[in-house]
Structure 1
Amino acid sequence: MKSDLTFAILLGGALVPDERVRTLVQGARAIAADGGMAHAAALGLKPELWVGDFDSTADDLLARHSGVPRQAFPAEKNFTDGELAVEEAIARGATRLILVGAFQGARTDHALAHLMQAVTLAERGLNLVLTSGTEEAVPLLPGSLTLDLPAGSLMSVIGFSDLGGLSLLGVKYPLQEADIAFGASRTISNVVTGPMTASLQSGRALVLARPHDFSGS
């Protein structure tokens, strides 16, 4: 049986490099997307490739990582640097992706693109986690998943379509085969109470959690 091959994709969003993030990327191979190389040292990672147009990369960062092989692309292109890095990881055999620095940052459009891209990648059969250190997200497609989140963590389910038959267990406000309209706020701001399981009969969504934020408990 082929074992999972994990790649950490270093993106340009915000990152709090805590122990939870370091555990996620432990043993992973890494590819940096443009300014995402700034996260490499804090996580103890040495990317095997650096891709992008390098329009958001500081000169000192380029100098510090001059030994990392680069794939340079023009600024006017049809793909984001993050998407290029992801596709390169898949070409190298990735079955699991940790998108580091996937939230916040200077570009809301890029953050939204990362969230939507994660869902489409999950539909292609890849296992994904998105993280900023303060927030984590995993795609939720028809089927079920169990999440390792501390009790008291705030969590939400963000739908990218109408959701049919959504069930949530191990949370303060459980659901049992609920139908949720696209854009409805019913699945925002729940609280993890124990081992959490989410299942879905139809639709596409993300489970978004704040593992260190217990203010809702």
Structure 2
Amino acid sequence: MSHFVILLAGRMLPTPRLRAALSGARAIAADDGMRHAGPLGLSPELWVGDFDSTPQEPPIALAGVRRETFSRDKDKTDGELAIEAAIGLGADRVTLVGALGGPRSDHAFAHLVLALRYAREGLGVSLLDGVESAYPLDRAPRRFDLLPGTQFSILKFSNVEGLTIEGAKWPLEAVDLPFTSILTQSNEAAGPIIVSLRAGEAILIAQDDPAVR
């Protein structure tokens, strides 16, 4: 598999676990996401965006990175451009770093929507930042190796049908839920969990354990 890391401008805590998850991956930075490269020990091969949130003159260590500059008046986000660039370079799996937290909630929402879209197109997608981890759900049962006591939620982006959660404090079996339900907020893993759904759009988001960061 060709694994790419997409560096975005949101929150990032460079934990040993996060660095290990990114080991061996190729990297592309989106605008100010480049600031995460050093702390994560990554050397991006491409830097894309409109560069409205980065210094006009990059640090010497970044001066040689190939840049693709886009107008601010564009119809794609910098993160979207970076993902498309990774696909163009042969990615079949991407990890979005810095996608979840940050000063703008609309950016985090956009990254979750992008994750769902590209996952539906067959791209492997995960969102990691050292504080939380998120994964689009699909029709096949999927195992998540969470530690006992880990808090997690299922974020719905539509009505969902046949949602099953095994191995949690509050399990569910083939439950249909409207988009407006918050029943899947703040569950707790008893250990590894298995999640699946028959129809709908949803993302699992889990809190990383600070004791093992």
Would you call these one fold, judging by a TM-score over 0.5? yes
Q: CA RMSD in A?
A: 1.3
- C-alpha offsets along residues 147-194 of structure 1, whole Å, 9 cap, x if unaligned? 122221110001111110000011110000011110211000001111
- C-alpha offsets along residues 28-76 of structure 1, whole Å, 9 cap, x if unaligned? 0000000000000111100000001111113564444111010011111
What pairs with 1:3-152 in structure 2 (closer than 5 Å)? 4-59=1-56, 61-152=58-149
Task: Specify the alignment match of 1:159 in structure 2.
Answer: 156
> Any unmatched runs of 5+ in structure 2?
none
Q: How far, CA to CA, are the matches of 2:69 and 2:98 in structure 1?
A: 21
Task: Specify the alignment match of 1:177 in structure 2.
Answer: 174
Moved over 6 A (4+): none
How many Å apart are 1:141 and its aligned residue?
2.2
Give the conservation status (yes or no) of the 8 Å contact 2:145–2:191: no
Give the conservation status (yes or no) of the 8 Å contact 1:150–1:211: no
Q: How far, CA to CA, are the matches of 1:180 and 1:196 in structure 2?
A: 20
Percent sequence identity is: 46
- C-alpha offsets along residues 95-142 of structure 1, whole Å, 9 cap, x if unaligned? 111000001212211110000110011000011110121111000122
Give the conservation status (yes or no) of the 8 Å contact 2:2–2:90: yes
Give the conservation status (yes or no) of the 8 Å contact 2:163–2:174: yes
Deviates more, 1:187-196 or 1:145-154: 145-154
How many Å apart are 1:204 and its aligned residue?
1.0
Give the conservation status (yes or no) of the 8 Å contact 1:38–1:61: no
After TM superposition, the score normalised by the length of structure 1 is: 0.94
Q: How far, CA to CA, are the matches of 1:154 and 1:121 in structure 2?
A: 26
How many Å apart are 1:143 and its aligned residue?
2.0
Deviates more, 1:27-36 or 1:15-24: 15-24
Report SS of the residue matched to 1:143.
coil
2:185 counterpart (185, 188, 195): 188
Give the conservation status (yes or no) of the 8 Å contact 2:27–2:46: yes
How many equivalent pairs are there? 211
Task: Specify the alignment match of 1:210 in structure 2.
Answer: 207
Give the conservation status (yes or no) of the 8 Å contact 2:162–2:198: yes
Report SS of the residue matched to 1:7.
strand
How many Å apart are 1:211 and its aligned residue?
1.9
Give the conservation status (yes or no) of the 8 Å contact 1:119–1:139: yes
Report SS of the residue matched to 2:155.
strand
